[in-house]
Structure 1
Amino acid sequence: MAKLDPGLARIRVKDLRLRTYIGINQDEILNKQDVLINLTICYRAQAAVRDNDIDHALNYRTITKAVIAHIEDNRFALLERLTQEVLDLVMRHDAVTYAEVEVDKPHALRFAESVSITLAASRPATTSPS
């Protein structure tokens, strides 16, 4: 996980429960299932802190709405693919310096609570304009 340098904010979206088509078995192809999404998003927040202004902050609501729409409107054979597509959505925002996406598929295995995949991406942090 990205080290929190001064001025770097870490946003966490925890246990976003959505329904989508996920899997390769006939039953999974025909029926939506629950998935749990956990996002960790880092960005330089100095201007948002200094100005107390939403225009200088990373809007996690906008990102979350895009994730919800994407997952609910698509079909996925593999958790890996779903996880990568969510990560790509988050990384489209230039302000994001690091993102980590974990997707859980509850009850994917008989004796396990869930199976999850985690993927991460980063880009060099640039200093925000004063």
Structure 2
Amino acid sequence: MTTSNAIIKITNLRLRTFIGFNLEERQKMQDVEINIEIHYPAQNAIREDNVEEALNYKKITKAVIQHVEEGRFLLLEKLVSDILDISSDHPWVQFARVTVDKPHALRFADSVSLSLEYHRD
């Protein structure tokens, strides 16, 4: 059986962190909503049904949660970049995309979001 990359999607991970450079933003935690997509070759996991051959998305999610909740970020770009680094750290990862929404960042908008992508060369 020929397979393509497995695609893991972590959808709407809702966390709180210090994000922003205005005084109020630096003193009060804000909600962020995180979406992560990770592609990796899963032929061995499929063939062998062995947990050691699969990418551990729970471990990645726990690392993201810890980093976001314990961190302080001036820019959305830095937060997204850090999450992308965590999400693409494993050598099997071929592609990753992270989008972080900051709800209520603008007066007349539901949220502001920023996305970054990683491509293994």
Whether these two folds match at TM > 0.5 is yes
Q: For this pair of structures, how many residues does the alignment match?
A: 120
Q: In the aligned structure 2, how far is the partner of 1:49 from the partner of 1:92?
A: 22
Tell me the equivalent position of 2:10.
Answer: 13
Instruction: Summarize deviations over 1:47-97 as a string: whole Å, max 9, x none.
Output: 001111110000000000000000001100010000001001111111100
| TM-score of the aligned structures, taking structure 1 as reference length | 0.90
Uncovered stretches (5+) of structure 1, i.e. residues with no partner = 125-130
Tell me the equivalent position of 1:99.
Answer: 96
Which letter does structure 1 place at the counterpart of 2:52?
A: D
The percentage of aligned residue pairs carrying the same residue is: 51
| TM-score of the aligned structures, taking structure 2 as reference length | 0.96
Give the 4+ runs in structure 1 shifted more than 4 A: none
CA contact (8 A) 2:17 2:71 kept: yes
* Structure 1 segment 1-130 matched on structure 2, within 5 A: 6-124=3-121
SS in 2 for 1:86: helix
SS in 1 for 2:94: strand
Q: In the aligned structure 2, how far is the partner of 1:50 from the partner of 1:86?
A: 30
Uncovered stretches (5+) of structure 2, i.e. residues with no partner = none
SS in 2 for 1:11: strand
